[in-house]
Structure 1
Amino acid sequence: MDSVPDWLSPSAITDIALLLHDAKPAARLHVGNRGTELRRWARRLGLFTSLDADGYAAISRSPAIARKVIDLDRRPGRHTLALGSVLGYPACCSRAAARVGDEGIDRWHQAVSARRFHGHFRAIDPGGYIEGASRISHVPCSHRCKPSLALATRPERC
């Protein structure tokens, strides 16, 4: 496997690893003006890329899903729930994200990351996501979210 391009944010490591291990259907990344480079890299892995004019990209094993992510993201109005669903986040977590909206997710991520995760649920602590050291790429709806735990502890299939 080609390594993740070093110009991507560290959080992209988590998103791409989950995508490659079939734990999520798509990943949304900020690539700035490097969309062509991402597209070439993704094609070598059998992935499809869709880009927008603001420097965001969606990658997926399906070209239709990659396009759908970008189309949803560009849609005016509230689309957090629909976007969470197409990115493969648990429904409970997508609903919780929709309650805070796109504009509140970063603050919500900080608040959830400050909580203590115990036992097996340490696997869903989103605190390491920014550094690329998380097992999930979404903010769990609670520190005891079982669907998030199932994603975080799934067997790797790559």
Structure 2
Amino acid sequence: MTGRIPSWLPPSAVTDIDLLMLGLKPAARLYVGERGREIRGWARVQGLFCSADRDGYAVLSRSGATARRVLDVDRRPGRHAVALGRMLGYPECCTRAAAKVGDEGIDAMCDAVAARRFRGKFKGIDPGAYRAGRALLSHVPCSHNCGASAKLAMRRSEC
């Protein structure tokens, strides 16, 4: 599936788009820079809807209304991590954890979780491989032993 993803997208987009195409998440939010027109054309060919903004972000979804709503929520001023996490299909516990640290703290949260040891069924939720496009999840798990994230990762690995 990832062979069809435009090469100019960051490697992390592979994870987001794979999860979307497999029906494991309702929408994917990507940074596309000034290539909003290109991603819209690519999405149309894939049977997806795309909404893009002037700040270089795009949302892909199988529903045009969902793509527009996610982008609208993302652009809203103020804290919107809970609403955005729910719309992107992240587990509730992980959404609440991200909301506690805010947009500005998610990278530090990711580093802290990734520094932990992932054992057994939780090996698949290590967020360290996301930037390289080799992760099973597109969100930062709330902990190194998040059951909801492990369940999603197992569903992804079965596809």
AA aligned to 1:21 is L
1:64 aligns with 2:71: no
Deviation string for 1:51-98 (max 9, x for gaps)?
111000000000011001110000010000100000000000000000
Alpha-carbon distance in structure 1 between the residues aligned to 2:35 and 2:63: 21
Please give the TM-score of this superposition, normalised by the length of structure 1: 0.96
Aligned match of 2:32: 31
Aligned match of 2:143: 142
AA aligned to 1:83 is L
How far has the Cα of 1:139 moved from its partner?
Answer: 0.5
Aligned match of 1:95: 96
Which secondary structure state, in structure 2, belongs to the residue aligned with residue 50 of structure 1?
Answer: strand
1:114 aligns with 2:115: yes
Alpha-carbon distance in structure 1 between the residues aligned to 2:154 and 2:132: 19
How far has the Cα of 1:150 moved from its partner?
Answer: 1.0
Contact 2:114 2:144 in 1 (8 A): no
How far has the Cα of 1:148 moved from its partner?
Answer: 0.6
Deviation string for 1:93-137 (max 9, x for gaps)?
000000000010011111111111001100000100000010000
Please give the TM-score of this superposition, normalised by the length of structure 2: 0.96
- Total equivalences in the alignment: 156
Which secondary structure state, in structure 2, belongs to the residue aligned with residue 140 of structure 1?
Answer: coil
Alpha-carbon distance in structure 2 between the residues aligned to 1:126 and 1:72: 24
AA aligned to 2:43 is A
Provide the alpha-carbon RMSD of the alignment. Answer: 0.9
Aligned match of 1:14: 15
Unaligned regions of 5+ residues in structure 2, if any? none
1:47 aligns with 2:48: yes
Which secondary structure state, in structure 2, belongs to the residue aligned with residue 8 of structure 1?
Answer: coil
AA aligned to 2:65 is A
Alpha-carbon distance in structure 2 between the residues aligned to 1:109 and 1:143: 10
Alpha-carbon distance in structure 1 between the residues aligned to 2:65 and 2:74: 14
